[in-house]
Amino acid sequence: MFDINAVRAEFPILARQVHGKNLVYLDSGASAQKPQVVIDAVTRGYAQEYSNVHRGLHYLSNLATDKYESVRSTLQRFLGAAHDDEVLFTTGSTHGMNLVSYAWAAQHLAAGDEIVLSVLEHHANIIPWHFLRERQGVVLKWVECEADGSLDAQRVIEAMGPRTRLVAVTHMSNVTGALVDVKTICRAARERGIATCIDGSQAAVHMPVNMVEIGCDFYAITGHKLYGPTASGALYARRERQAEMRPFMGGGDMINHVSRDEVSYNVPPHKFEAGTPGIVQMIGLGVAIDYMQSLGMEAIAAHEADLRDYARSRLRGLNWLNLQGDCADKGAIFSFTMQGAAHAHDISTILDRRGIAVRAGHHCAQPLMQFLGVTATCRASFAMYNTRDEVDALVSGLELCHELLG
């Protein structure tokens, strides 16, 4: 059983008020709140256990190193990776995708080679490929989504041509929650010898994921959406692709030997983890993952599916609200505009005065905004700690917005 009251009690911020109203936090798609166990782990890490990792022989260094490195196995299990050395520590998905761009793609793509990506993508899964377009003449090949905001896997497969070297797509849209059949896409890409990079920033939060089953080459996740600290995350990089990668950054434990005339590099994953890392941040992420798995990813997914269905029913009942990309197979993320001249920022401001936190803007997904024919939307993104009562609060707040702005 998923005990929502017990879950909410683990997140101290949910007990506070904003503008004299009980906080209704519906912006987890941007960054999730933190449970007490993560807050305690970060506090303890700095107050009682802090030291640099890998470089010391004293007690605190060994303790920090053991805790830090244990997170790799935690993430291996969470991601369903075959080997723990396929988990590279990063500061988040943006770092992960840039690592793929610099360490792998820049070495294997030449002028005229193609990267296939979709209009659903977050800028973190667009800009690193634009760098290659600007600097190396790589061609970006865009796949449109359907009218309902879904992405047809067959369209992505049909876009793969003889010059395609990489397919970079999201697993779940951060704007609409649309789920993408990445397993089918990755299977087709591998049959054609094409590499795949999947943005798992949203999907890994809301559902079980398994790298072996998906069959991708790279999969990026970000810790702050997974109820962990900011500046934490990971990139799954399949062993075969790691062998084709060169270091992205230099310094620290990524070396084996350095002389005046030469340098040799450490083995993966350390080869791709330069400098002093986010020690406490990664330890906090490990605790967050353990917490999620103690609840059960299937149980979390079922709870959020109920919230999605209830919210969709309530929001569809507002005939002056335009749900953007309201496809059937989606997570509990809703983007919307209001008929008339109401701007997303005005809607967000009114909701905020009622203690309801939503996101307003282009959500770092401007190609999707252009496809939808809007400049901005409001987005309500639900998490494990949200309730049906909070859906009702959102609907009530939107009705006030319509009364004031409609």
Measured over the CA atoms of residue 156, residue 159, residue 161 and residue 165, the dihedral's sign is negative
The Cα 45–Cα 280 span in angstroms is: 6
The vertex-131 CA angle with 282 and 263, nearest 5°, equals 60
Which residues are bridge partners to 210 per DSSP? none
Query: Could you write out the DSSP letters of every residue in 62-127?
Result: HHHHHHHHHHHHHHHHHHT-S-GGGEEEESSHHHHHHHHIIIIIHHH--TT-EEEEETT--GGGTH
Whether residue 364 lies in the annotated active site: yes
Who contacts 88 (Cβ-Cβ below 8 Å, separation ≥6)? 96, 99, 234, 235, 236, 237, 268, 269, 272, 273
Q: Are 214 and 194 in contact (CB under 8 A)?
A: no
Bridge pairing between strands 321-324 and 333-338: antiparallel
Q: At what angle do helices 388-405 and 344-353 cross, to 10 degrees?
A: 120
Q: Which of 197, 216, 327, 364 is catalytic?
A: 364
Report the DSSP beta bridge partners of residue 222. 233
DSSP, collapsed to helix, strand or coil, labels residue 300 as helix
Amino acid identity, residue 51? S
CA 73, 78, 79, 81 torsion-angle sign: positive
Point out the residues that are catalytic.
364
